């Protein structure tokens, strides 16, 4: 087995002490230029790579931050991670990505692993109640920032999006377009984000009680494209006279799945059925029928979470903060036809 080269070998080669090698590695100043050059030459010649376990054990600080998300294949989450990486990279920290797959068991397993590693911090999009686990993490010196979610009791920093308002906007828009039977598509899980979007949807209906109408809740197995196909199938099974004329999907993957499945069954979007998604991932605007979507500032979400983490790590008098970002409704073709005007026989584009 490759008996790894240690700092001691480098020191011997360069004719200095190990402390000096360590200084070359860790400080930009305080080492004579000529000494530094000699050490650096030895490092190159010996292919030395510092052992991070030893460094971390002694210095008591990791240089890794983990980003734990619900679904790595969802571009929304990788965009968030990318924003975090941008900020953390600048602070000399590396980011590793972990995928809970919206599974509490997997989430716990990762949190255990990350605790054993004593990572510097965790940005987590939690599945299920997380307060206790955050406490455990803090006990081990690991700062945690909640992403796309918030902590009721202020026991951790969080960056979330005003999802109630986002849900409200989506429904208000669909009501404005003349729709009265609207489906909300969510998951079986208890993600608070989805719950908030549903709440906003209900509120919008309440405030527009006068207009009548009805909100139908659909549940799918996973918040993915195939979940969207599932939702479309459910919609198509409803007799035409009770069938909703529009859907508000709790994310864009679902919306894309619905769009595809409905199209392939000859249902025209938006003329026969309107769709509004959530997240505004890149694919949304590029869909076969460009998708209306409630945009979340994904990159910004990651950036701010990273900044809060750095702030918490650097300050022992830290006060947890709850940042809440606003959404923006982006109207595109998938919801652009007025339902009432269509009913009256307006030309289809």
Partner DNA sequence: CTGAAAGCGCTTACAG
Which 265-304 positions form the footprint of a second copy (CB under 8 A)?
Answer: 282-283, 286-289
Q: How far apart are CA 274 and CA 221, in angstroms?
A: 22
Whichever of 17 and 288 has its CB closer to DNA, that residue is 17
Q: How many CA atoms lie within 13 A of 18 on its CB side?
A: 6
In angstroms, how far is the first alpha carbon of the chain from the final one?
70
Which of 38, 50, 208, 321: binder of a second copy (CB under 8 A)?
50
Q: Among residues 115, 194, 113, 122, which one has the least CA distance to residue 157?
A: 122
Q: Is 62 among the residues that bind DNA (CB under 7 A)?
A: no
Q: Among residues 331, 190, 191, 325, which one has the least CA distance to residue 248?
A: 331
Count of residues that bind DNA according to CB under 7 A: 32
Which of 57, 105, 152, 346: binder of a second copy (CB under 8 A)?
57
Q: How far apart are CA 324 and CA 168, in angstroms?
A: 16
The partner in contact with residue 139, picked from DNA, a second copy, none with C-beta cut-offs of 5 to 8 angstroms by kind, is a second copy
Contact in structure between 115 and 137 (CB atoms under 8 Å): yes
Q: Is 136 among the residues that bind DNA (CB under 7 A)?
A: no
Which of 17, 112, 264, 341: binder of DNA (CB under 7 A)?
17
In a 3-state reduction of DSSP, which class is residue 63?
Answer: coil
Q: Is 19 among the residues that bind DNA (CB under 7 A)?
A: yes
Q: How far is the CB of 164 from a second copy (least distance, A)?
A: 28
Contact in structure between 199 and 296 (CB atoms under 8 Å): no
Q: How far apart are CA 98 and CA 89, in angstroms?
A: 17
Whichever of 47 and 132 has its CB closer to DNA, that residue is 47
Which 323-342 positions form the footprint of a second copy (CB under 8 A)?
Answer: none
Burial of 320 (0-12, 13-18, 19+ CB in 10 A): middle
Whichever of 21 and 147 has its CB closer to DNA, that residue is 21
Q: Are strands 322-325 and 157-161 parallel, antiparallel or unpaired?
A: parallel
Q: Is 316 among the residues that bind DNA (CB under 7 A)?
A: no
Whichever of 62 and 245 has its CB closer to a second copy, that residue is 62
Count of residues that bind a second copy according to CB under 8 A: 51
Q: Is 218 among the residues that bind DNA (CB under 7 A)?
A: no
Q: Is 58 among the residues that bind DNA (CB under 7 A)?
A: yes
Would the CA dihedral through 80, 82, 86, 91 be positive or negative? positive
Which of 28, 32, 33, 53: binder of a second copy (CB under 8 A)?
53
The partner in contact with residue 243, picked from a second copy, DNA, none with C-beta cut-offs of 5 to 8 angstroms by kind, is none
Q: For the chain, give the number of residues.
A: 349
Strand order in the sheet with 214-220: 214-220, 181-187, 246-249, 274-279, 292-295, 328-330
Residues interacting with DNA, by CB under 7 A? 3-4, 6-8, 15-23, 25-26, 29-32, 34-36, 48, 50-51, 54-55, 57-60
Binding site for a second copy (CB under 8 A): 1-2, 4, 47, 49-54, 56-57, 62, 64, 72-75, 78, 94, 96-99, 109, 112-113, 115-118, 136, 138-141, 225-226, 229, 257, 260-261, 263-264, 282-283, 286-289, 316
């Amino acid at each position: 087995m490759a008996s790894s080269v240690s700092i001691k070998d480098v020191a011997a080669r360069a004719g200095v002490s190990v402390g000096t090698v360590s200084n070359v590695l860790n400080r930009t100043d305080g080492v004579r230029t000529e000494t530094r050059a000699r050490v650096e030459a030895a490092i190159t010649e010996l292919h030395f790579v510092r052992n991070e376990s030893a460094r971390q054990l002694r210095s008591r600080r990791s240089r890794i931050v983990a980003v734990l998300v619900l679904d790595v294949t969802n571009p929304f989450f990788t965009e968030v991670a990318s924003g975090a990486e941008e900020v953390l990279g600048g602070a000399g920290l590396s980011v590793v990505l972990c995928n809970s797959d919206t599974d509490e068991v997997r989430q716990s397993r990762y949190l255990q692993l990350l605790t054993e590693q004593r990572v510097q911090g965790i940005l987590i999009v939690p599945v299920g109640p997380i307060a206790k686990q955050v406490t455990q993490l803090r006990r081990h010196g690991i700062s945690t920032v909640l992403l796309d979610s918030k902590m009721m009791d202020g026991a951790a920093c969080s960056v979330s999006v005003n999802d109630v308002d986002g849900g409200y906007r989506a429904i208000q828009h669909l009501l404005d377009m003349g729709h009265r039977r609207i489906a909300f598509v969510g998951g079986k899980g208890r993600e608070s984000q989805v719950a908030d979007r549903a709440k906003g949807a209900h509120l919008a209906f309440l405030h527009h009680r006068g207009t009548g109408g009805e909100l139908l809740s659909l549940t799918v197995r996973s918040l993915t494209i195939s979940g969207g196909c599932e939702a479309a199938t459910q919609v198509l099974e409803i007799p035409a006279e009770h069938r909703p004329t529009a859907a508000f999907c709790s994310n864009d993957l679902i919306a894309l799945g619905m769009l595809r499945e409905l199209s392939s069954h000859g249902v025209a979007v938006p003329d026969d059925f309107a769709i509004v998604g959530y997240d505004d991932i890149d694919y949304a605007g590029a869909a076969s029928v460009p998708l209306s979507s409630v945009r979340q500032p994904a990159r910004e979400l990651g950036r701010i979470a990273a900044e809060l983490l750095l702030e918490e790590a650097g300050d022992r008098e830290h006060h947890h903060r709850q940042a809440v970002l606003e959404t923006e409704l982006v109207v595109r073709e998938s919801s652009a036809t007025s339902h009432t005007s269509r009913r009256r026989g307006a030309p289809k584009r």
